[in-house]
Every structure is written in C-alpha cells, then in structure tokens.
Amino acid sequence: MGRAIDMEKDIDMLKMKVEKLENTVRGMTHTIDEIDEKASKTKKVDLVDDVKTEEEDVKKETDNKTSSNSGKRSNAKNRNSKGKTDSDGDSSK
C-alpha cells in the first residue's frame, strides 16, 4: 500500500503543476489577443516601400549631379577649343 500512496501523492503534485501551466497559458493567450487587437487598430507602414523611395530619390539626385557636371565639362572643352586660334584669328592650322 505504500507504493499506492506515493503514486497518489505524485499524481496530486502533477495535477497541481498541470493546473498551473494551464493558467499560465491562458494568461499568455489573453495577452497575445490584446496585442493582436492593438496591432489591428494601428496603421501598418511598409518600411520596404519607404526604403525603396529613399533609394530612388538618392539615385535621382546623383543622376542630376552627374548630368549637370557633365555639361560643365563639355562647356570647358568647348571654351578651350575656341581659345586655340592662331595669331591671325583663324582656327585652322
């Protein structure tokens, strides 16, 4: 009979642990449900689109700077070629 009593004590202890775990899981489920409700009420922002937009803006700025700089270079070349005239004022040699 001693073994049966020990087993009964073990079963009671296991029942208490299971009950405690069930209460913990219920509390976690409740918390998760509250978080889901708050998340559904908040506005979702797609950060990937924001990053793509910023990258495109930076690329456009870079392209604009490059095109404006290339125009300056070509003007400088034109000025240098116009300035190379011989003493008669004739650009042909």
89: left (phi over 0), alpha (psi -120 to 50) or beta: left
The sign of the CA dihedral 76, 79, 85, 91 is positive
Same domain, 27 and 49: no
Is 54 part of any domain?
Answer: yes
Of residues 82 and 42, which shows the higher confidence score? Answer: 42
Is 89 part of any domain?
Answer: no
Range of the domain at 20: 1-42
Residue 81 has pLDDT above 60, yes or no: no
Residues 64/58, Cβ–Cβ less than 8 Å: no
> Got the DSSP string for 13-65?
HHHHHHHHHHHHHHHHHHHHHHHHHHHHHSPP--HHHHHHHHHHHHHHHHHHH
Q: Tens digits of per-residue pLDDT, 4-63?
A: 899 999 999 999 999 999 999 999 999 999 888 887 777 766 666 666 677 777 777 777
